[in-house]
Amino acid sequence: MPEIIDSLQACLLFSAVDRGYLISIEPQLKTIHLDTGDKVYNAGEQVPGLFVIVQGAVRLNLAFLEAYNPFVTVVRAGKFFGDHYIFDDKPCLATATCVEPTTLTLLHTELFLKVFREQPSVSQRLAHILALSCRNMSQVYGCDMTQGVETRLLKLIRHLHHIQNIPSDSDAPFTINYSHNELADMIGLTRTAISKPLRKWKEKGWI
């Protein structure tokens, strides 16, 4: 279908890929038609690959933060999503919901990794995009990805303290309403890495 190939070429990630190559992988692409309100995937599920929006729009939100501060992104035609979960097998943190009738092209993980290996322009652009994502995450949570575990975790907790509107001079221990895995994923760490400082701070009565 020419419109599917056109939509891939209109997407920044694939714009430098030869059209003939895209046509060669077209039989392996999956086209998905969804209505307003339909879920592409839910938080906690495995994301099957990379989605490119042919038409329509999809809202991505971090469900476990929604009660305090809805971290929402709306992705529209020509954009893609799902890239954060291509390289690890963890469940996703975001829920993806169509905000209008939407057509998506899905590159299953195995196919996308094949394209990633064979097309240097795709791997270079994705590396750049993910680097920008890390920078944005650092700005949102007030932490530098090069900082130590305790510093990054402390800045995250201060940020969560702030968005829950808790007075800065409160002497009460801060209640963390997130799992170890959720906290670790927010700042690019593992559950094991953050368990020790959390345990230490709990013993001190800080949390």
The predicted pLDDT at position 66 comes to: 47
The predicted pLDDT at position 190 comes to: 74
The predicted pLDDT at position 168 comes to: 54
The predicted pLDDT at position 158 comes to: 73
The predicted pLDDT at position 100 comes to: 96
> How long, in residues, is the chain?
207
Q: What's the pLDDT tens digit per position in 138-155?
A: 555 555 555 677 877 877
Start-to-end CA distance of the chain, whole Å, equals: 56
| Burial class of residue 32, CB neighbours in 10 A (0-12, 13-18, 19+) | middle
Q: Percent of the chain beyond pLDDT 70?
A: 76
The predicted pLDDT at position 69 comes to: 46
- Regions in the chain scoring below 50 on pLDDT: 65-70
Q: Both tokens of residue 175? A: 């209640």
Give the separation between CA 173 and CA 153, rounded to whole angstroms.
16
